[in-house]
């Protein structure tokens, strides 16, 4: 993507590294740049290199150079990421849309081959493996086999994409988790492209893209909608953010893990308030934070709500690149470039920051978080008491021992608080050798003391890359994990994303019949209600060693300090501290078991895949041949009847409320996710198309089929729609008939009657993962506007990207304070001002007898262009045709 910069600041220069010479844009050419935080210097270089006088202007560059750390963000800049990374759930719709755009271009008389990623795009298939089979040696093989059976159509489609599009690469299933593959292999740190050297930057279709911030790579998660735009060369429009400086000093004490550190940081930053801000770590303590811990901290950025959580480049970055088998020329370039550009960490220099926080690492104590939010940290020593405090919210009675007989005849009783899932899973921790080796050593010590996991616990191990299995093998630790039931189930996100698979039938039956509040413990980053498993009400995040400990304890109602986990051969009690490995033990295993050769071997032909992948029959050609019978990949309706010029923006008349929602409704509540129930609209659709219930698969796997997805939007079992009393799930009142119906059926009725729809919501609407379908589904249901008290950044911009206008109640007001029942008819006027090329600050909303001025949350001129065109894809398509 070499573009010719206008170079208004005379920043163009050359940098010689060894025998190579590169064109660079010197950050120091802009006055004031030396005091900027690391992350803003990266943005400044981006603007210098892409300055075109239209999208990126000299005044934007100057504004960034003269950044006032104390100002509220109000200056828009256009950031052009160097690359895009995707996972298969969110990536499939991107490729479906690109394929559809090729046809739309042809229909409007253009050249379909013009539709190609303009920036390198890499997709890692990691979200499709489900832990169906567990606790046995063949679990991995069986799960991969089932995965290929379920997802064959999607995989054939992605293989077509790999051949049809330039600059698009696919990492096949069974390889690793996208964010781990990113830090271990894909990340460049400094790009070398078309003779230019520049910082590696990216956006990803997964909110935990920020894991790569640990390497000093600036990037964050966006909706699939913005990712498509970035692939097609559209800059990401953003405001110059406030940057929070987070100073680290000291070192972690014995017994505290990276997970404990990150849960502490998550709680601190949530409390401080960092939504929409950059967080940057600095200070003498940074050097003492190993790269794996930096990546763990970066990974949790969405949980504390910041846009990114970045570490600067230093010796530790270079050591990690070397360990993971990056070539010597790359190491030399990264170091020379970072030093030449003032991007190398200098512990004695304090940049200007908007806000300051600090943490002494020595104060971190073992912790977990739950039962439903990552920021709800619980000190491990208080876990039993805290569990007892929250249990009444989830269970009618404190204890309810319920007998279970397993298929092999094993009998036991389970009660509220039983740990039914213990899973070492997710990107956050499975790339971190300290906690992964820690978990394996704890397993070894436990087995040697004669301890076992409880028979009702579903134990799963899903590392982030094959390297983990290699170092477990080399250290001789695999047998101990296997002995406790932590057999390898797959290399993928698994439990954290809701692919925990079914509980054993007798356990599930007992839980549901007795309505028990049972628990999952996972080494993940997300524990929202209803996300992990439909049978499990309470979910706790914990480090991998604690996941193993809870599998042995078998219940949340447990005090590790005072209760033994079991007894050894001499009937002596065994406590957690007796089997917890020391920091030195962990370190010595890391030093002897992990080598650069492992990374080189495991990533040698990472895009080629195994025999299964290579033998998939794959369609060819520039334009995809849609299969009319496919229930996975269908051509979406976004461009049907699209004209070469957009029609004018119109006000909204006679609208009705589809759903009236409370605070903290996440994209997990809105977006279709998890398993598809037989009696749901999506289940009925699949059944009508000849799919058996056992083959329904998950919503995520069917993201390439808009018919399934629209039926699963707002269908989360925990959604509470205030148009109905005490009803949970995807239901609403059809205001034309007064009857209760599914949200999908109500939407069909309103659309047939030509009635536009609105959604009313409370605070933090759309927090959670960056889910493109939360916005696409909303738009396809016929919703024209959302009125909320406040929004999460990504979801707000995604709504605009799909042609839905995000409006905000006046400050301090809400649906309740205005007396809205949700049964009113809505008139929204003033939107037509957008046709004059300006964006109104507020519009008039009349709902029954109530009138108020709603704030228009179209925040940038770029967003206004998308909205005028009916969405981002239409905007890009029309521009390409011009």
Number of C-beta neighbours around residue 751 at 10 A: 14
Q: H or E element: which one contains 85?
A: strand 83-87
**Domain 367-557 adopts which CATH fold?**
Aconitase; domain 3 (3.30.499)
Is it the case that residue 1 has pLDDT exceeding 50? no
What are the residues whose beta carbons fall under 8 Å from the beta carbon of 454, sequence distance 6 or more?
412, 419, 551, 552, 553, 554, 555
Residue 224 — pLDDT band, cuts 50, 70, 90? confident
What does the pLDDT read at residue 652? Answer: 98
Phi, psi of 402 (to 5 degrees): -125, 120
pLDDT at 870 over 80: yes
pLDDT at residue 557 greater than cutoff 50:
yes
Q: Classify 278 as helix, strand or coil.
A: strand
* H-assigned helices in 282-425: 291-299, 301-304, 315-323, 328-340, 383-394
CATH 3.30.499.10-classified regions of the chain = 83-363, 367-557
User: What is the rounded CA–CA span in Å between residue 20 and residue 39?
Assistant: 27
* pLDDT confidence of residue 268: 96
CA angle 594-599-603, nearest 5°? 160
| CATH 1.10.3720.10 fits domain 83-363 | no
Fold of 652-671+713-881: Aconitase; domain 4 (3.20.19)
Please give the Cα distance from 524 to 429 (Å, whole number).
7
Poorest-pLDDT segment among 38-52, 95-109, 194-208: 95-109
Sheet holding 20-25, edge to edge: 12-17, 20-25, 196-199, 190-193
Round to whole Å and give the CA distance between 156 and 758. 38
Residues in the chain: 882
Q: Answer whether residue 3 shows pLDDT above 70.
A: no
Torsions phi, psi of 610, nearest 5? Answer: -90, -175
- Using one digit for the tens of pLDDT, what is the confidence trace for 757-812? 999 999 999 987 657 899 999 999 999 999 999 998 778 988 999 999 999 999 99
| Entry pTM | 0.85
β-strand pairing of 739-742 with 731-734 = antiparallel
Residues of the chain with CATH 3.20.19.10: 652-671+713-881
Are the C-beta atoms of 461 and 488 separated by less than 8 Å? yes
Query: Is the peptide bond prior to 147 cis by the omega test (within 30 degrees of 0)?
Result: no
Q: Which residue shows structure tokens 């009660």?
A: 415
Per the listing, tokens 């990216």 go with: 202
Q: How far apart are CA 660 and CA 721, in angstroms?
A: 5
Confidence of residue 700 (pLDDT cuts 50, 70, 90): confident
What's the pLDDT tens digit per position in 429-477? Answer: 888 999 999 999 999 999 999 999 999 999 999 999 999 999 999 999 9
Q: What is the pLDDT of residues 533-546, one digit of tens each?
A: 989 999 999 999 99
Q: What is the pLDDT of residues 118-177, one digit of tens each?
A: 889 999 999 889 999 999 999 999 999 999 998 888 899 999 999 899 889 999 999 999
Rounded distance between C-alpha atoms, residue 708 and residue 153, angstroms:
15
Query: Phi/psi at 101 (nearest 5 deg)?
Result: -65, -35
- Cβ atoms 682, 698 nearer than 8 A: no
Comparing C-alpha atoms, which of 442, 428, 526 is closest to residue 486? Answer: 442
CA distance 358 to 781: 46
3-state SS record for 701-765: HHCCCHHHHHHHCCCCCCCECCCCCCCECCEEEECCCCEEEEHHHHHHHHHHCCCCEEEECCCCE
CB 471 within 8 A of CB 594: yes
């Amino acid at each position: 993507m070499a573009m010719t910069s206008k170079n208004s600041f005379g920043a163009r220069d050359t940098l010689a590294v060894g025998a190579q010479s590169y064109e660079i844009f010197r950050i120091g050419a802009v006055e004031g740049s030396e005091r900027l935080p690391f992350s803003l210097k990266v943005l400044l270089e981006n603007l210098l290199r892409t300055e075109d006088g239209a999208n990126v202007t000299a005044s934007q560059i100057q504004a960034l150079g003269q950044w006032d750390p104390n100002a509220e963000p109000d200056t828009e800049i256009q950031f052009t990421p160097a690359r895009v990374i995707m996972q298969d759930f969110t990536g499939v719709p991107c490729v479906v849309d690109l394929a559809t755009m090729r046809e739309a271009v042809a229909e409007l008389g253009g050249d379909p081959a013009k539709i190609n990623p303009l920036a390198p795009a890499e997709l890692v298939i990691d979200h499709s493996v489900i832990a169906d089979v567990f606790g046995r040696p063949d679990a991995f093989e069986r799960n991969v086999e089932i995965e290929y059976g379920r997802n064959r159509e999607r995989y054939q489609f992605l293989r077509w994409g790999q051949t049809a599009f330039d600059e698009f690469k696919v990492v096949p299933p069974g390889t690793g988790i996208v964010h781990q593959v990113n830090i271990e292999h894909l990340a460049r740190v400094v790009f070398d492209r078309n003779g230019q050297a520049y910082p590696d930057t990216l956006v990803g279709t997964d909110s935990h893209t920020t894991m790569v911030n640990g390497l000093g790579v600036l990037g964050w998660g966006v909706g699939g909608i913005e990712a498509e735009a970035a692939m097609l060369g559209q800059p990401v429009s953003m405001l110059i953010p406030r940057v929070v400086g987070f100073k680290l000093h000291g070192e972690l004490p014995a017994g505290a893990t990276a997970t404990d550190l990150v849960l502490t940081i998550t709680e601190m930053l949530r409390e401080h308030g960092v939504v929409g801000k950059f967080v940057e770590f600095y200070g003498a303590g940074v050097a003492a934070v190993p790269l794996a811990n930096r990546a763990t901290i970066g990974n949790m950025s969405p949980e504390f709500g910041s846009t990114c959580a970045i570490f600067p480049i230093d010796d530790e970055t270079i050591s990690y690149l070397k360990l993971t088998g990056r070539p010597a020329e790359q190491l030399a370039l990264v170091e020379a470039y970072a030093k030449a550009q003032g991007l190398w960490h200098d512990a004695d220099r304090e940049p200007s920051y908007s806000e300051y926080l600090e943490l002494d690492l020595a104060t971190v104590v073992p912790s977990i978080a739950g039962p439903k939010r990552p920021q709800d940290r619980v000190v491990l020593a208080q876990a039993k008491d805290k569990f007892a405090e929250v249990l009444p919210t989830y269970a009618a009675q404190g204890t309810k021992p319920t007998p279970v007989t397993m298929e092999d005849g094993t009998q036991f009783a389970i009660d509220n608080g039983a740990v039914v899932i213990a899973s070492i899973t997710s990107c956050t921790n499975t790339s971190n050798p300290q906690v992964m080796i820690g978990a394996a050593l704890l397993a070894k010590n436990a087995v040697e003391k004669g301890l076992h996991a409880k028979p009702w616990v579903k134990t799963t191990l899903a590392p982030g890359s094959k390297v983990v299995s290699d170092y477990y093998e080399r250290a001789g630790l695999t047998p101990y994990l296997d002995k406790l039931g932590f057999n390898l189930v797959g290399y993928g996100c698994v439990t954290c994303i809701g692919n925990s698979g079914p509980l054993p039938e007798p356990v599930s039956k007992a839980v549901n019949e007795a309505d028990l509040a049972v628990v999952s413990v996972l080494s993940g980053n997300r524990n929202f209600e209803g996300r992990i498993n439909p049978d499990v009400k309470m979910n706790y995040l914990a480090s991998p060693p604690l996941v193993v400990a809870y599998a042995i304890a078998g219940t949340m109602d447990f005090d590790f300090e005072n209760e033994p986990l079991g007894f050894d051969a001499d009937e002596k009690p065994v406590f957690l501290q007796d089997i917890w490995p020391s920091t030195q033990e962990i370190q010595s295993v890391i030093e002897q078991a992990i080598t650069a050769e492992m990374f080189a071997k495991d990533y040698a032909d990472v895009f080629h895949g195994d025999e299964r992948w290579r033998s998939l029959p794959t369609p060819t050609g520039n334009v995809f041949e849609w299969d009319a019978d496919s229930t996975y990949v269908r051509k979406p309706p976004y461009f049907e009847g699209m004209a070469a010029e957009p029609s004018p923006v119109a006000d909204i008349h006679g609208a009705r409320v589809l759903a009236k929602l409370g605070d903290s409704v996440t994209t997990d509540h809105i977006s279709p996710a998890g398993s598809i129930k037989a009696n749901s609209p999506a289940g009925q659709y699949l059944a009508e198309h000849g799919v058996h219930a056992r083959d329904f698969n998950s919503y995520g796997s069917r993201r390439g089929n808009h018919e399934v997805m629209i039926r699963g939007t707002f269908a989360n079992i925990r959604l509470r729609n205030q148009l109905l009393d005490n009803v949970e799930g995807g239901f609403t009142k059809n205001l034309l008939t007064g009857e209760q119906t599914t949200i999908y059926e109500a939407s069909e009725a309103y659309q047939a009657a030509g009635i536009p729809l609105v959604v009313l919501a409370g605070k933090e609407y759309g927090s959670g993962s960056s889910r493109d379908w939360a916005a696409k589904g909303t738009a396809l249901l016929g919703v024209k506007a959302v009125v909320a008290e406040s929004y999460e950044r990504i979801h707000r911009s995604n709504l605009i990207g799909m042609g839905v206008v995000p409006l905000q109640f006046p400050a301090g007001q809400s649906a309740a304070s205005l007396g809205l029942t949700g049964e009113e008819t809505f008139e929204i006027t003033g939107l037509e001002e957008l046709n004059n090329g300006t964006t109104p600050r507020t519009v008039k909303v009349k709902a029954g007898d109530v009138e108020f001025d709603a704030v228009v949350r179209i925040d940038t001129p770029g967003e206004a262009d998308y909205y005028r065109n009916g969405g981002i894809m239409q905007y890009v398509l029309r521009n390409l045709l011009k």
